[in-house]
Structure 1
């Protein structure tokens, strides 16, 4: 079973770098561009790990994690 990871960051280049590294290691990676999108994706699927930036537009990473809890 492959672990599923959600990466949430407003920087497309950073999301791409994380996705390349993690998919190369055999993980399934889903991306989101801000906390609002990340929250919607996290509520719609089961992830083993969420990697998030703290400072993002619309909703920061800390608020997103608090909403998920």
Structure 2
């Protein structure tokens, strides 16, 4: 089964994302910041990471740069999911190794379309 790690400091966003992803046949794990997410990835690398930008302890950008340098860290598809919508943020995320970008708020159709774009139908 496909695994998705949801990384967001908002419990509400994690809950909404978990429901959507489970409807799309993913098993899910959750982390409230990048540091916790890296620890989860070291234990078992997910297939997909749904990643917030602005979080305490370690933000999404720092998590992504560290993930991509970790053993096996090139494998997960990373979807940045954030309110940051300026071109500079999007460009920076993609250059750091993000595969796609989702704007909050999102719904099942948006998540499904983005997953399809990165190879998860």
Q: TM-score range by the shorter chain?
A: over 0.9
> 1:33-48 to 2 correspondence within 5 Å?
33-48=32-47
Q: Which structure 1 residue ranges, 5 or more long, are not aligned? A: none
The one of the two structures with greater contact order (alpha-carbon pairs below 8 A, sep at least 6) is: 1
| Contiguous gaps of at least 5 residues in structure 2 | 69-121
Q: 2-side partners of 1:55 and 1:20: how far apart?
A: 22
TM-score normalised by the chain length of structure 2: 0.55
* Aligned-partner SS, 1:14: helix
Identify the residue that residue 3 of structure 1 maps to in structure 2: 2
SS at match of 1:68: helix
Map 1:1-69 to 2 at 5 A: 2-69=1-68
Q: Which residue of 1 is the match for residue 76 of structure 2?
A: none
CA shift for structure 1 position 68? 1.1
2-structure distance, mates of 1:59, 1:18:
20
**Segment of structure 1 superposing worse, 12-21 or 37-46:** 37-46
TM superposition outliers: structure 1 runs of 4+ over 2 Å: none
Aligned-pair distance for 1:25?
A: 1.7
**Partners of 1:66 and 1:46 in 2: how far apart?**
15
